[in-house]
Amino acid sequence: MNKIRVGIAGAAGYTGCELIRLIERHPHAEICWLMTGPTHAGKRLRAVFPHLRAVHDRPLLPLKTLGVEKADVVFFALPHGEAMALVPEFLAAGTRVIDIGADFRLKNPGLFEKWYEKPHASPQLLSEAVYGLTELHREEIRTARLVANPGCYPTVSILCLAPLLREGGLDCRSLVIDAKSGVSGAGRGLSLKTHYAECDEDLQAYSPLVHRHLPEIEQELTFLAGQTVTVVFVPHLVPMIRGMLATVYACSSGKERPESLQDQYEAFYRDEPFVQVLDPGELPRTKDVWGTNRCEIAVRFDPRTGKVIVIGVVDNLLKGASGQAVQNMNCMFSLPESTGLDLIGVYP
Amino acid sequence: MNKIRVGIAGAAGYTGCELIRLIERHPHAEICWLMTGPTHAGKRLRAVFPHLRAVHDRPLLPLKTLGVEKADVVFFALPHGEAMALVPEFLAAGTRVIDIGADFRLKNPGLFEKWYEKPHASPQLLSEAVYGLTELHREEIRTARLVANPGCYPTVSILCLAPLLREGGLDCRSLVIDAKSGVSGAGRGLSLKTHYAECDEDLQAYSPLVHRHLPEIEQELTFLAGQTVTVVFVPHLVPMIRGMLATVYACSSGKERPESLQDQYEAFYRDEPFVQVLDPGELPRTKDVWGTNRCEIAVRFDPRTGKVIVIGVVDNLLKGASGQAVQNMNCMFSLPESTGLDLIGVYP
Amino acid sequence: MNKIRVGIAGAAGYTGCELIRLIERHPHAEICWLMTGPTHAGKRLRAVFPHLRAVHDRPLLPLKTLGVEKADVVFFALPHGEAMALVPEFLAAGTRVIDIGADFRLKNPGLFEKWYEKPHASPQLLSEAVYGLTELHREEIRTARLVANPGCYPTVSILCLAPLLREGGLDCRSLVIDAKSGVSGAGRGLSLKTHYAECDEDLQAYSPLVHRHLPEIEQELTFLAGQTVTVVFVPHLVPMIRGMLATVYACSSGKERPESLQDQYEAFYRDEPFVQVLDPGELPRTKDVWGTNRCEIAVRFDPRTGKVIVIGVVDNLLKGASGQAVQNMNCMFSLPESTGLDLIGVYP
Amino acid sequence: MNKIRVGIAGAAGYTGCELIRLIERHPHAEICWLMTGPTHAGKRLRAVFPHLRAVHDRPLLPLKTLGVEKADVVFFALPHGEAMALVPEFLAAGTRVIDIGADFRLKNPGLFEKWYEKPHASPQLLSEAVYGLTELHREEIRTARLVANPGCYPTVSILCLAPLLREGGLDCRSLVIDAKSGVSGAGRGLSLKTHYAECDEDLQAYSPLVHRHLPEIEQELTFLAGQTVTVVFVPHLVPMIRGMLATVYACSSGKERPESLQDQYEAFYRDEPFVQVLDPGELPRTKDVWGTNRCEIAVRFDPRTGKVIVIGVVDNLLKGASGQAVQNMNCMFSLPESTGLDLIGVYP
């Protein structure tokens, strides 16, 4: 079988370098080119990511290069708003696209404009784009031309809630998602918020109630529940490089018993290679999924208050970004989903 | 005025060394002796805390020493269950007591036994002990013989909720407290959970729904609300030394408007030297209260879901432990509460 | 006694906010104004340093303000090259100056130009400026109009070597200083090097052999030794906020014995309030001086190789910057050196 | 080809879990059993290392099990002093042994007893054991029955110095090795030194001049130089999980020029898959080799002082321990050395 030819647009950020790592060790894919924005275009990869000096030393092409070698699939790992104008020409050329950014996640162009404060450049593609939470949409992903890879917070939040919402009976106005992320989620761009002396030994909530991942979460949960779901979403910045943990609080429908909840979650994810429901005595730690594409989930029922608590962890750069993107690529090219993703976490 | 003579029982832990720091620089108090458990008794302070080598080098006496010099007040900073047998003899001798541990916080001896898995050694003192959240109980603290200093999680949680619950009208079954703590909250005792390579670059929830601070929180919130309050409480361990942040979610009574909430909080804490309600555009960070006795709080109303979100931060070893203990001592000895606590945080 | 009126030029950086903390709690000094560069001029202090919101909320004036209130002393905490043009007019107005930056440390204007790549704007002041390592120059500091506060690396390096070099007999070509600094030493300016995800969990040497603190170290050591001293100086960036440790290696003169070295160091620093020679069984840790103006030093002789090893620690923002600046101010205004600097470290 | 059957004695520590990770993904090796000391023997692997729950869940056998399945090679990853009594019976049974611990590194049993404070249990094997710094001893490793895997500090220190010492002409009494290690190097055993709140935000030297890796370094450097080499060795503990950096200072023979030094290093390591000499403008960072078996080295000549400075980095658990052990296994079983070690670092 010929290797899948992969282009990466946005190779100089953290999701970009994770993609390079994964594709370089993928048995059925290979990089054909790397592009990046104007800051780094024209440099060699080694100058931007010295840790890759032993791997290879490709040139970083500028974005929008015409006449670039035809790839089978292009990953976009760009700041939001930059992919949406470029995607149509790749699709037109017969290249499939996986956008790790936010441009194609919301189905409603008005919602996109409200949250991202600019009109969408390719609104005609929004209905076609498949939301790339593989566990929920793999059938459509197989044949998709355009996959909108989920945000990191939505990935872990939706995986925590999907078994509950599919089942029905939940009080859908009662959902609280308290999420915590390592600092790499903010990317490689400089800011005082991610300046070492400012964020080390600090913890803060940010964008409570108004984070851009909120409409994406509600859109998917509404789809799952078959009724309007509203969510309270408060993200926090944690002084660690990687890792994301969501603690989700829901009012039960009154029918749950602890055993059945556990069974329900185990059944829902039984055949999933990357989602594991922990045993009743276990709790997830971000370190346990560090460097892997895995999501680990624990579920608890509180009989005193009638609340269901679900705790989930992912590596924000892998299952929360580049790992899931490769999982989607595998799906699109009829490979087993875990191809090239059979990673064992580096511990400690 | 004569200086207040202070004894510290439990000087070899983190709350102990914070007490030493505070009392050493307190203009109206002085240390008369230090005691500690068998591991360190008999050593010099310098051997246990070399960072104090420049301050003084007292001996660490064993606990239970008879014939110890009479102190005006004794701080207990011992693991739970160790103070309750020792306190009566100090009270009998006319010494006032501030217990930073958990032994006198719960009013109900049965509840103590249930959560701490041993019968209470001095149940007759439970009704007399005053819960030392200064902002709420300062009148009783002034004349108290025995103050039960609150836990770190209860301090920040209750301060976040008090203005709401006093006002009434809240749905008291809907409270969710998602709390996050730095590692020093687990103390100086060794465990795999606090081993550097295990907890650095890791985030985890622990004891969800069953942490020992839960009954203490519910007891005080019930007292404040005048009706039974139940709480979902999930604490998390964050890879930083100090700092505690609580994100509290409550269903409003339907009467709130954003402006009035802000006003309500500002009014409630207007004259408090150690609690500050932030401006509507601000959010608290643990680093902003690092090394101080302050609590900073932000409040938000979400009209989409009808939820009130309150975010509060403290330094877990100061307002969450030793700082509040000194605030209570000031109160007990008719000093201005901020005496010796007028700390400016060391930043960054 | 009237309080010393203090101006701070460069209040928006880390040394600036440490100065504010120290002066605010200094019993004999008070801030009369704060200035800062164009990025923050015009803002309120609270907007730049929210952790100071409880202290006061002064305006940040632009640099070079004419007609500013006359201060008794001005601290300059600006990037190198910015103070040297401003200092003369303050001196002319009768204000004394302590420059925490690098502009007045080197005596030789040619050397300044070589290392800082611009001509000196006030070369006539270089010979007058007193190098503000208080322990070595306090007599001249008392009457100085202009004090050049040492760099952080030079402070700890010179304090480690002074007793050896004063004594004579050392092989002055054999000195190696391997120094390690926390990240706050790089300031509050943004750079990839101090971006959290880049420098956390990383260790690197930087500017080996060519760091700008090298000529300053050699100038002072040469002065101490009475002969030309050359040094190999390699600094390293360590993933922690504060703290600096220097490990110094020297070839002995062949006369040392372990006991005499220890004695020599203890004698040299016997009366110093801020320098402590540790007992032979002790080793310094940066955490032990965290938040204080102290330097702790251990000395070892290796009979196998004839080398002397000296290990010293300081808090880079205190004894390495703002703390020493206040120590110098105390000296200039005939106050006990430890006035306002009697800090106990916040531990852990 | 049959897979190499691997036994791991000491599977519950950090080097143990890294070995498991590497062997599980090695194309030509497989684990046949795991043993561990009494603390964890009898448990399942998942209970000790939950991050491996997705890999497999083997039992942890007790050490010294008779009748254990015959392995082709056994890795010992035990505290020093525990392997030396067990190794002979494995060798006698025809199993080859790689000891990651310290028991077989020193050739002189008296030296072992002096530094490890107990007599050697199998002194007859010391001359046979091959020091497993692959780059220097691969010819003997190929046929060795017993390989003594180097310590982490010796690995990076010797790789930094080998090209200089092989060349000759160095002043062999002038060597200074200032080394810095992440905390995982201290293992998984609990101690106050590795308690999070104690070692985070702290930097300290430890065991200066008397660390147990010193005799091992001198033994190998003496072998390389063909004359007695003495070293000043000062290790430091750095608040990060992984990573090791050595800064090495040597007096040149007077013949070096910067260009020739660079050439000399590049020539020495030209064909090495795991050692890379950086370009003259580059400096190594521990993060660049994080999670890999690589060593990166920069060399500088200081014409002012005549010193050569070499800076090297490794991941202490990989090239400094388990990675090099697998490299040695590959060598012993005639596989390309990079088999199963072609790791791309997880960045950031």
- D240-285 pLDDT, tens digit each: 999 999 999 998 766 656 668 999 999 999 999 999 999 999 999 9
Under an 8 A CB cutoff, do C232 and D290 touch? no
**Tens digit of pLDDT for each residue in B156-177?**
999 999 999 988 767 767 899 9
Q: Which residues of B touch C55 (CB under 8 A)?
A: 344
Chain A and chain B share a number of CB contacts under 8 A equal to: 150
For range D278-297, the mean pLDDT: 97
Cα angle, residue A192 at apex, residues A48 and A237 outer, rounded to 5°: 95
CA A303, CA B210: separation in Å to the nearest integer? Answer: 12
Q: Which residue has the tokens 């282009």?
A: A7
Q: Is B47 on the interface with D (CB under 8 A)?
A: no
Please say if the pLDDT value at position A257 is more than 70.
no
Q: Where are the beta strands (DSSP E) in chain B?
A: 4-9, 29-36, 61-62, 73-76, 96-99, 130-131, 146-148, 175-181, 204-205, 231-237, 244-251, 275-277, 295-302, 307-314
**Tens digit of pLDDT for each residue in D119-160?**
999 999 999 999 999 999 999 999 999 999 999 999 999 999
Among residues C32, C152, C160, C172, the one annotated as catalytic is C152
Beta bridge partners of C166: none
pLDDT at residue D332, as a whole number: 98
* Domain C4-128: top CATH class: alpha beta
pLDDT at residue D191, as a whole number: 97
Q: Is A92 on the interface with C (CB under 8 A)?
A: no
User: B209-212: which pairs have CB atoms within 8 A and are 24 or more residues apart?
Assistant: B209/A300, B209/A302, B209/A304, B209/A309, B209/B233, B209/B234, B211/B153, B211/B235, B212/B80, B212/B102, B212/B115, B212/B116, B212/B151
For range C79-89, the mean pLDDT: 95
Under an 8 A CB cutoff, do C190 and A192 touch? yes
- Specify the domain boundaries for CATH 3.30.360.10 within chain D: 152-318
* ipTM tops the 0.90 cut: yes
| Nearest-neighbour CA in chain C from D110: distance (Å) | 18
Sign of CA dihedral D22, D28, D33, D37: negative
For range A100-125, the mean pLDDT: 97
CB-based burial, A15-45: b 16+ in 10 Å, e otherwise: bbbbbbbbbbbbeebebbbbbbbeebbeeeb
- Specify the domain boundaries for CATH 3.30.360.10 within chain C: 153-318
- Say which CATH architecture domain A153-316 belongs to: 2-Layer Sandwich (3.30)
CB-nearest to B240 from A234, A239, A311 is A239
CB-nearest to A197 from C183, C197, C201 is C183
Model-level pTM?
0.97
CA B103, CA B82: separation in Å to the nearest integer? Answer: 8
pLDDT at residue B170, as a whole number: 76
Q: Which residues of A touch C184 (CB under 8 A)?
A: 197
DSSP SS3 for D92: helix
- Specify the domain boundaries for CATH 3.30.360.10 within chain A: 153-316
CA B73, distance to chain mean position in Å, is: 18
CA B338, CA C292: separation in Å to the nearest integer? Answer: 22
Q: Is C283 on the interface with D (CB under 8 A)?
A: yes
Q: Domain C153-318 adopts which CATH fold?
A: Dihydrodipicolinate Reductase; domain 2 (3.30.360)
Under an 8 A CB cutoff, do B249 and A232 touch? yes
Among residues B17, B32, B152, B160, the one annotated as catalytic is B152
Among residues A17, A152, A160, A331, the one annotated as catalytic is A152
Q: Is A199 on the interface with C (CB under 8 A)?
A: yes
Chains that touch A (3 or more CB pairs under 8 A): B, C, D
Query: Token pair of A295, please?
Result: 């999501």
Find the largest Cα–Cα distance for chain A: 64
Query: Token pair of D23, please?
Result: 């062997």
CB-nearest to A24 from D17, D294, D344 is D344
Q: Please give the residue of chain B at the shortest CA–CA distance from D182.
A: B197
Under an 8 A CB cutoff, do B196 and D241 touch? yes
For range A129-155, the mean pLDDT: 98
pLDDT at residue B167, as a whole number: 81
CB of A86 closer than 8 Å to CB of A63: yes
pLDDT at residue D169, as a whole number: 65
pLDDT at residue D170, as a whole number: 77
Listed residue (C158, C171, C141) closest to C223, CA to CA:
C158
User: What's the whole-number average pLDDT of chain C?
Assistant: 95
What is the side-by-side order of every strand in the sheet holding B275-277?
Answer: B204-205, B231-237, B175-181, B244-251, B307-314, B295-302, B275-277
For range C292-305, the mean pLDDT: 96
Cα angle, residue C206 at apex, residues C205 and C210 outer, rounded to 5°: 125
| Nearest-neighbour CA in chain C from D283: distance (Å) | 7
Reported confidence tier of residue A183, pLDDT bands at 50, 70, 90 = very high
Confirm whether C199 is a catalytic residue: no
CB of C43 closer than 8 Å to CB of C60: yes
- Specify the domain boundaries for CATH 3.40.50.720 within chain B: 4-128
Under an 8 A CB cutoff, do C200 and A188 touch? no
Q: Is D243 on the interface with C (CB under 8 A)?
A: yes
CB-nearest to B283 from A206, A284, A311 is A206
Listed residue (B180, B322, B186, B324) closest to B247, CA to CA:
B180
Q: Please give the residue of chain D at the shortest CA–CA distance from C206.
A: D283
Q: Can you give the three-state secondary structure of D26-38, one letter per residue?
A: CCCEEEEEEEECC
Rg of chain D over CA atoms, in angstroms? Answer: 20
pLDDT at residue C257, as a whole number: 63
Among residues D17, D32, D152, D160, the one annotated as catalytic is D152
- Say which CATH architecture domain D152-318 belongs to: 2-Layer Sandwich (3.30)
- Regions of chain B where pLDDT drops below 70: 169, 172, 253-259
pLDDT at residue A76, as a whole number: 98
| Nearest-neighbour CA in chain B from A305: distance (Å) | 7
pLDDT at residue C105, as a whole number: 98
Beta bridge partners of C34: C8
Prior bond of C348 cis (ω within 30°): yes
Reported confidence tier of residue C259, pLDDT bands at 50, 70, 90 = low
pLDDT at residue A37, as a whole number: 94
Q: Is C201 on the interface with D (CB under 8 A)?
A: yes
What is the side-by-side order of every strand in the sheet holding A130-131?
Answer: A61-62, A29-36, A4-9, A73-76, A96-99, A146-148, A130-131
Identity of the residue numbered C322: S
CB-nearest to D54 from A276, A287, A290 is A276
Cα angle, residue D7 at apex, residues D4 and D13 outer, rounded to 5°: 130
